[in-house]
């Protein structure tokens, strides 16, 4: 228990935070812009991981597997939005919850039909499989660093797209006032499809890059969904900035919770959420 140990844990926390951000940013945008509570969002993470495992096995290369997998998930996202989610825009949240709950059951069973129920693992590619020595005995795996860097690049790209492009402008406008965006003649149908597919792809990508460092297992979608919901609640619905800070906070809380409270690790993130709720019920960056 020395400084390098805590340093490693902090790096792990950051890496987990970035992964959470990729999943939660899609979730928060889909809430904020489309007004949809999408419980099936975690399923895209699971699908991403299984796709990655399956494609990597077939192609023999993780990177090519990811490159081939992401477009598939984009197509899946567009399909689900066009034939499923589109019916929910004018419905009560209650029905959105149930509909996407049904989607989860379908996704889980499809996964079981296509890929089975076994826990799988993905090999870390040769180039990234070594560790960076920190002390004589401890080292930090390069692959984890790679995850953090890739996610950081994606987060920066997302930031630039949302803040600096015309598409991003409509996305931000849509998040703050959907009706007005529609009234200004912006094709909201197309915007919704883009946002949904983008969210799905981000979640799936998170599942893909993290597949080599964690096992690929059936319940992983549910697990990440709940934590991402906590991130969104902490950060505030519809806020990318909130999703980022929330993800880092929850990523750190979860990692250090496991270090300091090994028996109550599962509870720490919810305690953080409860504290934020007491202080700011609308989340750190939520609108009242």
Partner 1 sequence: MYRISRPSLVILLVMAIGLALYPFVGESYYIRLMTKIMALGIFAMSLDLLIGFTGLISLGHAAFFGVASYVVAWYIVKAGVTNALFMLPTAVAVSGLCALVIGWLSIRTSGIYFIMITLAFAQMLHAFFKDQSYWGGTDGFNFYTKPNLAIGDTVLLDLGNKVTLYYVTFALMVATFVFLAVLLHSPFGRAIQGVKVNEGRMRAMGYNVRNLKLMSFVIAGMLAGVAGFIEATRTAYVNPEMMSWHASGNVMVMVILGGMGTLYGPILGALALTLLGDNISSLWDHWLLIMGAFVIAVVMFLPEGIAGLIEGVTQKFGKKPPPKEETEP
- Residue ranges that bind partner 1, judged by CB under 8 A: 31, 37, 39, 84, 87, 91-95, 97-99, 101-106, 108-110, 112-113, 222, 226, 229-230, 232-233, 237, 263-267, 270, 273-274, 277-278, 281-283
Q: In this complex, which beta carbon is closest to partner 1, that of residue 92 or of residue 118?
A: 92
What 3-state class would DSSP assign to 132? Answer: strand
Report the nearest approach of partner 1 to the CB of residue 162 (Å).
Answer: 20
Q: In this complex, which beta carbon is closest to partner 1, that of residue 64 or of residue 105?
A: 105
Report the nearest approach of partner 1 to the CB of residue 26 (Å).
Answer: 15
Nearest to 96 by CA among 87, 106, 105: 87
Q: Taking a C-beta distance cutoff of 8 angstroms, is the pair 36, 237 a contact? A: no
Q: In this complex, which beta carbon is closest to partner 1, that of residue 97 or of residue 142?
A: 97
Helix (H) or strand (E) holding 46: helix 41-59
How far, in Å, CA of 214 to CA of 210, rounded?
A: 6
Nearest to 163 by CA among 236, 241, 237, 233: 241
Q: What stretches of 90-219 show up as alpha helix (H) in DSSP?
A: 93-115, 142-164, 166-176, 178-183, 188-210
Q: Taking a C-beta distance cutoff of 8 angstroms, is the pair 198, 247 a contact? A: no
How far, in Å, CA of 77 to CA of 276, rounded?
A: 32
Q: In this complex, which beta carbon is closest to partner 1, that of residue 41 or of residue 144?
A: 41
Report the nearest approach of partner 1 to the CB of residue 88 (Å).
Answer: 8
Tell how strand 139-141 and strand 131-133 pair up: antiparallel
Nearest to 10 by CA among 209, 251, 230: 251
Q: In this complex, which beta carbon is closest to partner 1, that of residue 112 or of residue 121?
A: 112
Q: In this complex, which beta carbon is closest to partner 1, that of residue 146 or of residue 244?
A: 244
Report the nearest approach of partner 1 to the CB of residue 124 (Å).
Answer: 28
Q: In this complex, which beta carbon is closest to partner 1, that of residue 109 or of residue 187?
A: 109
Report the nearest approach of partner 1 to the CB of residue 157 (Å).
Answer: 27
Q: In this complex, which beta carbon is closest to partner 1, that of residue 87 or of residue 190?
A: 87
Report the nearest approach of partner 1 to the CB of residue 154 (Å).
Answer: 24
Q: Long-range contact list for 267-274, CB < 8 A, 24+ apart?
A: 269/227, 269/230, 270/230, 272/230, 272/234, 273/230, 273/233, 273/234
How far, in Å, CA of 22 to CA of 20, rounded?
A: 5
Q: Taking a C-beta distance cutoff of 8 angstroms, is the pair 262, 213 a contact? A: no
Report the nearest approach of partner 1 to the CB of residue 253 (Å).
Answer: 13
Report the nearest approach of partner 1 to the CB of residue 19 (Å).
Answer: 18
């Amino acid at each position: 228990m020395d400084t390098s140990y805590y340093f490693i844990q902090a790096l792990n926390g950051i890496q987990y935070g970035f992964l959470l951000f990729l999943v939660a940013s899609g979730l928060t945008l889909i809430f904020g812009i489309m007004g949809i509570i999408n419980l099936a969002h975690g399923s895209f993470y699971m699908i991403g991981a299984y796709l990655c495992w399956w494609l990597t096995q077939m192609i023999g290369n993780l990177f090519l597997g990811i490159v081939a997998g992401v477009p598939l998930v984009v197509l899946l996202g567009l399909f689900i939005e066009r034939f499923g989610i589109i019916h929910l825009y004018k419905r009560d949240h209650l029905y959105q919850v149930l509909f996407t709950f049904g989607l989860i059951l379908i996704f889980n069973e499809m996964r079981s039909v296509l890929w089975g129920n076994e826990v799988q693992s993905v090999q870390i590619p040769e180039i990234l499989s070594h560790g960076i020595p920190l002390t004589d005995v401890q080292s930090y795996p390069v692959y984890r660093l790679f995850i953090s860097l890739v996610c950081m690049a994606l987060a920066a790209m997302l930031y630039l797209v949302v803040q600096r492009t015309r598409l991003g402008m409509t996305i931000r406008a849509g998040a703050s006032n959907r009706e007005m965006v529609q009234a200004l003649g912006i094709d909201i149908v197309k915007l919704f499809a883009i946002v949904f597919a983008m969210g799905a792809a981000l979640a799936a990508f998170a599942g893909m890059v993290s597949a080599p460092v964690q096992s690929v297992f059936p319940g992983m979608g549910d697990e990440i969904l709940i934590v991402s919901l906590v991130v969104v609640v902490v950060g505030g619905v519809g806020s990318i900035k909130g999703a980022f800070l929330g993800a880092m906070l929850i990523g750190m809380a979860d990692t250090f919770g496991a270090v300091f409270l090994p028996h109550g690790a599962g509870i720490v993130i919810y305690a953080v959420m409860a504290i934020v709720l007491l202080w700011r019920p609308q989340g750190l960056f939520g609108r009242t």
